[in-house]
């Protein structure tokens, strides 16, 4: 970005700071965030000693899904360079909870607001050797100040949709882009790499989608059987649903029970604060959900419709499902991650809006592991086709798993990319 652009951007941040402070104070009060979390947003990250010879990599992942990418990458990095220290930052509460579960992380903290003073203070306290931004976290002052301090700054699992690219390009024509100051981009797909290059990336290569490499949950008994569904019973897992999608899934399930009377539903809303809303939507469509959080851990769920209102269980809950519905796809949100279900050999159904996972969705549909429904009222037909033909369901599940297996390897390639940047920076020093 041009110097004037940074000045305008920073001035805008300061002008908006009273509104930002009011919003953040309400958020702290509502979610009972401690002082440490608030201090971190203004540069009060944990103060760390200088890194040893292997260095320290700061990985930033905005929320829970991206933190899963960070965890996969961190495991690959530790395998290749055990002495490398890894610190994690995030923006959301769910991202912080996920960061706490990443093995081997030195510390985790909230990303500072993009004020220069807050970024400089964080850099001084954390003392990173390099910075990796997961997917599309292009914070101008963070990139400028880290790069200006001589740190390699890279985007990993780089994703840039056509819509986002058009927006960035319009701004870049007049003000430039923070992409120009990146040391490199490890992109998910060829199209992503081309878009980053068009915005001025010095180096953009395709390393693949790290989400294909996410390990299966290691906990036992977290499949659909843990929620009271018997072996061999048809069960749909509807994962990461958004407003309006609970009602659409419920209508389809209620209609299908005439032909599949033992059909079960396990539904997990994307945001837990919507649990009441999701339950109300299911009941309005004639279903009687029971909440997972309401039962003792040693007793299975008694209901045929289960509302999964607990954090961190969805990835394992897909195991043993007949098929899955992927939320965020019936509305213009861009879809959630279908790989979580497909890696278990579970065929998936999603709506027309899968822009966040376009390449994954296309591969699953092309290979027969997914059906893309045209809209809410097409779900019943999509579900019924597989539920009525067990052989077709089994073939679709195998196809879904093969798509995942064929696209693995991104973690090792991305780790090599980052370690190369670290080594080059060390040689220059």
pLDDT score at 29: 64
CA distances for 159 relative to 164, 209, 328, angstroms: 9, 9, 18
C-beta separation of 241 from 268 below 8 A: yes
CA distances for 216 relative to 72, 223, 360, angstroms: 11, 11, 18
- List strands edge to edge, sheet with 153-158: 108-110, 85-90, 56-60, 130-134, 153-158, 184-187, 204-206
pTM equals 0.91
pLDDT score at 300: 60
pLDDT score at 411: 98
CA 16 – CA 114 distance, rounded (Å): 12
Residue 66 a catalytic site member: yes
Alpha helices, H only, 32-115: 35-40, 64-80, 93-99
The single residue of 40, 66, 245, 246 carrying the catalytic annotation is: 66
For 223-265, how does the pLDDT look when each residue is reduced to its tens digit (9 = 90+)? Answer: 898 898 888 899 999 999 999 999 999 999 999 999 999 999 9
Instruction: Give me the residues of the chain with pLDDT under 50, please.
Output: none
pLDDT score at 94: 87
pLDDT score at 31: 58
Domains of the chain: residue spans and CATH? 3-17+26-208+409-428 (3.40.50.11720), 224-406 (3.40.50.2000)
CA 25 – CA 261 distance, rounded (Å): 50
Angle at 201 between CA 200 and CA 202, to 5 degrees: 110
């Amino acid at each position: 970005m041009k110097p004037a652009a940074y000045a305008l951007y920073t001035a805008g941040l300061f002008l908006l700071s009273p509104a930002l402070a009011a919003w953040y104070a309400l958020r702290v009060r509502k979610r009972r965030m401690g002082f440490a979390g608030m201090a971190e947003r203004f540069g009060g990250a944990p103060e760390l000693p200088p890194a040893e010879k292997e260095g320290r990599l700061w990985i930033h992942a905005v929320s829970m899904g991206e933190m899963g990418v960070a965890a996969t990458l961190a495991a690959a990095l530790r395998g290749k360079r055990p002495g490398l220290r890894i610190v994690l930052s995030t923006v959301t509460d769910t991202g912080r909870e996920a960061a706490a579960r990443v093995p081997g992380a030195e510390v985790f903290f909230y990303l500072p607001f993009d004020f220069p003073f807050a970024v400089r203070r964080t850099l001084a306290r954390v003392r990173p050797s390099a910075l990796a931004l997961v997917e599309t976290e292009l914070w101008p002052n963070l990139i400028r100040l880290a790069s200006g301090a001589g740190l390699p700054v890279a985007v990993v699992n780089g994703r840039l949709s056509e819509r986002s690219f058009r927006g960035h390009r319009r701004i870049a024509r007049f003000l430039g882009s923070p992409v120009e100051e990146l040391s490199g981009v490890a992109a998910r797909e060829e199209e992503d790499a081309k878009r980053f290059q068009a915005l001025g990336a010095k180096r953009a290569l395709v390393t693949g989608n790290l989400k294909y490499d996410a390990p299966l949950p290691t906990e036992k008994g977290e499949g659909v059987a843990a929620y009271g569904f018997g072996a061999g019973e048809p069960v749909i897992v509807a994962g990461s649903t958004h407003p309006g999608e609970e009602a659409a899934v419920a209508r389809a399930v209620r209609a299908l029970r005439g032909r599949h009377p033992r059909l079960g539903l396990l539904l997990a809303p994307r945001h837990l604060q919507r649990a009441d809303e999701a339950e109300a939507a299911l009941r309005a469509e004639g279903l009687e959900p029971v909440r997972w959080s309401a039962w003792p851990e040693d007793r299975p769920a008694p209901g045929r419709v289960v509302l999964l209102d607990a954090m961190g269980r969805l990835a394992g809950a897909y195991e043993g499902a007949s098929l899955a519905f992927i939320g965020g796809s019936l509305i213009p949100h861009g879809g959630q991650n279908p790989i979580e279900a497909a890696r278990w050999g579970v065929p998936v159904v999603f709506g027309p809006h899968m822009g966040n996972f376009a390449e994954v969705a296309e591969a699953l549909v092309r290979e027969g592991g997914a059906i893309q429904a045209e809209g809410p009222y097409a779900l019943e037909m999509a579900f019924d086709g597989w539920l009525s033909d067990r052989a077709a369901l089994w073939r679709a599940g195998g196809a879904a798993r093969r798509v995942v297996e064929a696209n693995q390897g991104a973690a090792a390639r991305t780790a090599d990319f980052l370690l190369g940047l670290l080594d080059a920076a060390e040689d220059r020093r």
